[in-house]
Amino acid sequence: MAIAEGNTNACKKMITVSKENYLKAIAEAEAEGQTVIPATLSHWLSVTRPAVTFALKRLTKDGLVSVKKDGHIQLTTQGRQIAERTIVRHHLIERMLSEIFGMAWYEIHEEAERLEHAVSSAFEKKLVEKLGQKDVCPHGNGLALRSPAERRKRGLVLLTEAEVGAKYKVASVYERDRKLLEFFEKEGIRPGAHLIIEAQNYDGTISISVDKHQIRLGNTAAERIWLSKS
Ligand SMILES: [Zn+2]
Ligand SMILES: [Zn+2]
């Protein structure tokens, strides 16, 4: 189903929900430091390769992405504008659900994925008036998508790279995996939580203590957490 975009967009065409999702996924995967190829999108959006091929054809025709000969996908200026608008709305919906309705931080991402497409410019303005400006969502992720290199420049480190014995604060977590977020919540790992790196274990896990309890984290979970020195 096609949903009309707000009039703030440079693009006045009808943009379908899935188109916005593609554009946002490209912008986010880029920010995670990935080279975006069709396989990246198929993985990020849990869609088949033929579906990606079909979508890319339409997005290219509409001037929203360009695909290089080697398969590398890039957003055009217009495509990036739509991706950024959708990300702003995603953040606002997450904040609305958390700050106004008191939903748990690990529950709001999927809800925002669905609702972000229905936000008009007028509603977006109301949300900003009500919630105020803030650079990060309840998962600690910035409105301006930052690459791993940019995050490091700002003094953030991945939990996998953290110093043994040092104290840190959870700055942000990867939010596209609900099961992972529920696991983090259960272990007390949430944005703003304080933790100490106890040991880098021989089996590749990392022992940390959070709220006076110790846990061992495997790489898959540890590399989803950005820390700042506390
Ligand atoms: Zn989210
Ligand atoms: Zn978020």
C-beta of residue 135 within 8 angstroms of C-beta of residue 146: no
| Region of residue 71 (left: phi > 0; alpha: psi -120 to 50; beta: else) | left
Burial class (CB in 10 A: 0-12, 13-18, 19+), 202: exposed
Question: What's the 227 CA to ligand 1 centre distance in angstroms?
Answer: 19
pLDDT tens for the chain, residues 1 to 230: 444 444 444 344 445 668 999 999 999 888 888 889 999 999 888 889 999 999 999 999 999 999 999 999 999 999 999 999 999 999 999 999 999 999 999 999 999 999 999 999 999 999 999 999 999 999 999 888 888 888 999 999 999 999 999 999 999 999 989 999 999 999 999 999 999 999 999 999 999 999 889 999 999 999 999 999 98
Looking at residue 16, its pLDDT comes to 61
Tokens of 13: 């065409």
- Determine the distance separating the centroid of ligand 1 and the alpha carbon of 109, expressed in angstroms: 4
**126 Cα–ligand 2 center, Å:** 19
CA of 95 to the centre of ligand 1 (A): 10
Neighbours of 121 (CB within 10 A): 14
Ligand 2 centroid to Cα of residue 142, in Å, is 8
Q: What residues flank ion ligand 1 with Cβ within 5 A? A: 109, 175
Residue 109 CA, ligand 2 centroid: distance in Å: 6
The residues, ordered by sequence, that sit 6+ positions from 172 with a Cβ below 8 Å of its Cβ are 136, 139, 140, 141, 142, 156, 191, 225, 226
| Beta-bridge partners for 142 | 136
Q: How far is the CA of 94 from the centre of ligand 1 (A)?
A: 7
If we measure between CA atoms, which residue out of 68, 67, 63 comes closest to residue 78? 63
pLDDT on residue 17 = 63
pTM: 0.86
